[in-house]
């Protein structure tokens, strides 16, 4: 049985991979709309990195809630 942290970690990894793939697609697209979306995707990835700066071993309830909110946003 997965713990809540393990489940969250798996969901975060999946979403991060999805965003990274989208970011790389957008880098190859020269349209203005693509640049705007690329900046948004990059910002989301940076936000994730900042939230996880202390690693998964030191995940507080506050950070866990923040990560769940991050997953729920489009």
Task: Answer yes or no: is pLDDT of 1 > 60.
Answer: no
DSSP state of 52: T
Q: What is the pLDDT of residue 3?
A: 81
Q: What is the pLDDT of residue 34?
A: 95
pLDDT tens digit sequence for 14-71? 999 999 999 999 999 989 999 999 999 999 999 999 999 989 988 899 999 999 999 9
Q: What is the pLDDT of residue 24?
A: 96
Look up the domain containing 59 and give its range. 14-72
Q: What is the pLDDT of residue 2?
A: 60
Q: Which three-class secondary structure state does DSSP give residue 4?
A: helix
Is 8 within a domain? no
CB-based contact 23:45 (threshold 8 Å): yes
Is 26 within a domain? yes
Domain count, the chain: 1
């Amino acid at each position: 049985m997965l713990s809540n942290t393990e489940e969250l970690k798996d969901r975060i990894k999946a979403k991060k991979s999805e965003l990274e793939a989208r970011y790389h697609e957008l880098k190859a697209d020269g349209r203005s709309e693509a640049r705007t979306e690329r900046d948004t995707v990059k910002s989301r990835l940076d936000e994730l990195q900042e939230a996880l700066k202390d690693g998964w071993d030191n995940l507080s309830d506050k950070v866990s809630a923040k990560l769940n909110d991050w997953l729920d946003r489009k």
